[in-house]
Amino acid sequence: MSFDAVDVIRTKRDRGELSDGQIDWVIDAYTRGAVADEQMSSLAMAILLNGMTRREIARWTAAMIASGERMDFAKLSRPTADKHSTGGVGDKITLPLAPLVAACGVAVPQLSGRGLGHTGGTLDKLESIPGWRAALSNTELMNQLEDVGAVICAAGDGLAPADKKLYALRDVTGTVEAIPLIASSIMSKKIAEGTGALVLDVKVGTGAFMKDLGDARELAETMVALGTDAGVRTVALLTDMSTPLGLTAGNALEVRESLEVLAGGGPADVVELTVALAAEMLAAAGVTGVDPAEKLRDGSAMDVWRRMIAAQDGDPDAELPVAPEQHVVKAESTGVLSRLDALAVGVAAWRLGAGRARKEDPVSPVAGIELHAKPGDEVTAGQPLLTLHADDASRFERALESLADAVDIGTPYEAQQLIIDRITA
């Protein structure tokens, strides 16, 4: 049966339901270049405005998976589990989490991305370690999973190429926010990756992609349904991103903080979320009777980290780079720090050089922000609140502009729960 791009667009424009055949055809034709960018952007806008049914989203996701290769970890000697975060500020959780879960007996094939805008990228953080490389062949990936138990690397071009093309289009056509397209984008890559279990960290708050709890819940429920329908044991945690995670935002700064967590210390919120996600990954992979918190305390997670970094040509003993320029922001009054806005901190770190505006932009390994207090802490006038790190002091002015309204001191403080809810099938 032959299809036509304009007919597919009209169906969704008029609030109709796309057939399986229409979806399969349009994804394949767009990947091959037979459907033009302007036609696919029109369809994406119709999906943003009119939504999709669960069946449509599942078929759309399956068509994107079918556009490329699928990985298979069945030959590994242990079960697999992966984690995906929708991104935030100071979200370095993948760094301690992957080796921690591997230390508990579950293999972690963590295919990660780079930062864009105010949200940091896991690969950018790890590239601040001298020698470390993100690109692995499928053979290297499989061997490292068997030998070490954990891999954090870039996804190959063969996984869901339709998503790569559509993601770039959504970015420039105002359709990034379409929940069916977000869900299918994330889940097509994760299902194609072949993991047996998947835990989603869906962030909500000013520093998150999803500002509204209702939208975050809808996205989480949609992704859990997609994973479940595809035979992947999937669970989601809704977590707070109104305040940065931990005490750092920036590449080498976040690696340093992750090492503190792996050494049995680190900020309480980073430890809490790392252990909670590890417990979910172990349960989803069918592993019981192991306490992830103990694996942080006894050093076994750190042992896996060192082997994981070395396997990707990084030097786990190398000194991390340090910014030549620093600027301290001090508290203007005395009282309880009641708000420290995650988005403002993320934008400031980006302006300091920690992030990129376009995919091809370079990032600075040393740029970022160190937090000396978190909401709920008592502060006194004149004490350091933030330290800004940069290669070039000329970057401080614009970063400080984004921080102008980031802090409240002395207004009533209400503690936020870090883990808001748990979504299952």
CATH of region 325-409? 3.90.1170.30
Tell me 411's DSSP state: S
The arrangement of secondary structure in 81-157+186-317, i.e. its CATH architecture, is 3-Layer(aba) Sandwich (3.40)
**Where do the domains of the chain lie?**
5-51, 81-157+186-317, 325-409
**Residue 38 CB: number of other CB atoms within 10 A?**
10
Catalytic residue among 59, 92, 189, 389: 189
Query: DSSP for 13-66?
Result: HTT----HHHHHHHHHHHHHTSS-HHHHHHHHHHHHHH---HHHHHHHHHHHHH
Separation between Cα atoms, residue 291 and residue 43, nearest integer Å? 47
Above 80 in pLDDT, residue 291? yes
Above 80 in pLDDT, residue 422? yes
Ramachandran category for residue 368: left, alpha or beta (phi over 0 → left; psi -120 to 50 → alpha): left
pLDDT confidence of residue 116: 67
Q: State the residue for tokens 């939504």.
A: 51
Above 70 in pLDDT, residue 166? yes
Is the model more confident about 368 or about 415?
368
Annotated catalytic residue 339: no
pLDDT confidence of residue 233: 97
Q: State the residue for tokens 């929940």.
A: 179
Annotated catalytic residue 163: yes
Above 80 in pLDDT, residue 117? no
State how far the alpha carbon of 245 is from the alpha carbons of 223, 345, 398, in Å: 23, 11, 22
Q: What is the mean pLDDT of residues 149-163?
A: 91
Catalytic residue among 83, 84, 92, 339: 84
pLDDT confidence of residue 205: 96
Catalytic residue among 163, 229, 240, 269: 163
Catalytic residue among 41, 42, 67, 185: 185
114-123, 220-229, 258-267, 411-420: least confident range? 114-123
Separation between Cα atoms, residue 407 and residue 122, nearest integer Å? 27
pLDDT confidence of residue 347: 94
Q: What are phi and psi of 294, to 5 degrees?
A: -65, -35
Catalytic residue among 12, 92, 125, 170: 170
- How would residue 89 be classed by pLDDT, with cut points 50, 70 and 90? very high
Which candidate, 187, 177, 188, places its Cα nearest to that of 31?
188
| Mean pLDDT, the chain, whole residue set | 95
Annotated catalytic residue 185: yes
Alpha carbon of residue 70 to chain centroid: 21
Separation between Cα atoms, residue 268 and residue 257, nearest integer Å? 11
Q: What is the mean pLDDT of residues 355-383?
A: 91
Is the model more confident about 2 or about 240?
240
pLDDT in tens, 399-418: 999 999 999 999 888 888 99
Q: What share of the chain is helix, strand, coil (3-state, %, to 5)?
A: 45, 15, 40
Which candidate, 98, 114, 200, places its Cα nearest to that of 151?
98
pTM of the model: 0.94
> Any residues with CB less than 8 A from the CB of 177 and at least 6 apart, and which?
48
CB 328 within 8 A of CB 386: yes
Q: What is the mean pLDDT of residues 307-331?
A: 98
Domains 5-51 and 325-409 share a fold: no
Above 90 in pLDDT, residue 119? no
Annotated catalytic residue 242: no
Annotated catalytic residue 170: yes
Q: What is the mean pLDDT of residues 32-39?
A: 96
Q: What is the mean pLDDT of residues 304-325?
A: 98
pLDDT confidence of residue 145: 97
Separation between Cα atoms, residue 224 and residue 302, nearest integer Å? 31
pLDDT confidence of residue 153: 95
Q: Report the range out of 8-22, 146-160, 164-178, 360-374 with the highest average pLDDT.
A: 8-22
Q: Which CATH number fits domain 5-51: 3.30.1180.20, 2.60.40.3080, 3.30.9.10, 1.20.970.10?
A: 1.20.970.10
- How would residue 167 be classed by pLDDT, with cut points 50, 70 and 90? confident
- Residue 250's Cβ-side half-sphere holds a number of Cα atoms within 13 Å equal to 31
* Angle of helix 54-66 versus helix 161-172 axis, rounded to 10: 120
Query: 171: buried, middle or exposed (CB in 10 Å: 19+, 13-18, 0-12)?
Result: middle
Above 70 in pLDDT, residue 43? yes
Tell me 103's DSSP state: H
Q: What is the mean pLDDT of residues 120-144?
A: 95
Distance spanning both ends of the chain, measured CA to CA: 35
